[in-house]
Amino acid sequence: MDSSLPQQPAGAWALASAAARLYTAALPAVLPIAIPAALAATIPEFLQPGGEADEVVTALTPGTALATLAAFVVYGWLAVAVQHRVHSYAQGGGSTAESLRAALGRLLPLIGASLLAGIAVGAPFGVAAGIGVWAWQGGSYSLVVSVVLAALVALSWISVRLALVTAEVVLRPAGPVASLRSSWRLTRGFFWHIGMVYGVLLLMMIAVFLVAGIVTAVLTVLAPALAVFLSSIVSVVLLSVFLLPLGAAVVVVVWYDLRLRAGELPGTD
């Protein structure tokens, strides 16, 4: 078992450090899955015709729309496989092929869980948006600000409470409804704990995004004719080398920590 995984409940900084160590250690094992996932994520950019947003929508053909949907499905499959591979690496075993098969077998439950989580997040946000529009039209701008702030707080809270849905579906594994219930149960009382872990890692991501933005800007100036292509290359590198593996490491470490706190030793299901 990888020493990056917590052996007992740990604080936010310790968990963030553990996630960073796990990310660094597991990266070579994850790249064979993360790179194709990043490539799949960039395919829709090349399938869509140029022009304004409304022109792009009207110019989409059924074939292009189907190819875009297929690219998103492939990306989802591979992104889940990345998380499974990070977890199996941390457990001291597994292979790329095993993670790909496991992720494929959990794809439909994951889609169901994602839809349910989207409804849980989107429904309150939609209500808040409706109230905000009504208040704006009525000139109650202070109410608009209050509604926006309340919506952001509610969105953050619900997102944290459902942060372990993917891990529950793929790593336990659980069904769509059971995964939402488990995530809600495991995260109860740990909003600030989880938020601080993600806050520490967010600082790292901001620094990497700033560097990536500078690199993209320089490349665009040096080769404007290749701006779109070079931007896509930077996106692929950023997603495959940093975002996907690090995000998976964070989820695995936090999931492991909260299950320990709940008295549920991972791997005993």
Where do the domains of the chain lie?
A: 12-261
Q: Which of 176, 202, 196 is nearest to 254 (CA)?
A: 196
Average pLDDT over residues 180-190: 91
Say which residue, 174 or 53, is predicted with more confidence: 174
Burial class of residue 191 (count of CB atoms within 10 Å of its CB; 0-12, 13-18, 19+): middle
Give the pLDDT confidence score for residue 53 in this predicted structure. 38
pLDDT band at 44 (very low <50, low <70, confident <90, very high): low
- C-alpha angle 153/245/67, rounded to 5°? 85
Among 54-63, 164-173, 234-243, whose mean pLDDT is lowest? 54-63
8 A C-beta contact, residue 124 and residue 151: yes
Give the pLDDT confidence score for residue 158 in this predicted structure. 87
Give the pLDDT confidence score for residue 78 in this predicted structure. 92
Say which residue, 136 or 106, is predicted with more confidence: 106
8 A C-beta contact, residue 151 and residue 125: yes
Please state, in angstroms and rounded to a whole number, the distance separating the CA atoms of residues 230 and 220: 7
Average pLDDT, the chain: 81
Q: 226: which DSSP letter? A: G
8 A C-beta contact, residue 89 and residue 81: no
Say which residue, 196 or 46, is predicted with more confidence: 196
Dihedral, CA atoms, 50, 56, 61, 65, nearest 10 degrees? Answer: 100
Average pLDDT over residues 54-66: 57
pLDDT band at 23 (very low <50, low <70, confident <90, very high): very high
Which range among 2-6, 117-121, 223-227 has the greatest average pLDDT? 117-121
H/E element, 113: helix 107-137
Please state, in angstroms and rounded to a whole number, the distance separating the CA atoms of residues 245 and 119: 27
Residue 171's Cα: distance from chain center in Å? Answer: 15
Cis before 245? omega within 30:
no
Which range among 41-55, 116-130, 170-184 has the greatest average pLDDT? 170-184
Which amino acid does the sequence have at 92? Answer: G
Please state, in angstroms and rounded to a whole number, the distance separating the CA atoms of residues 162 and 131: 25
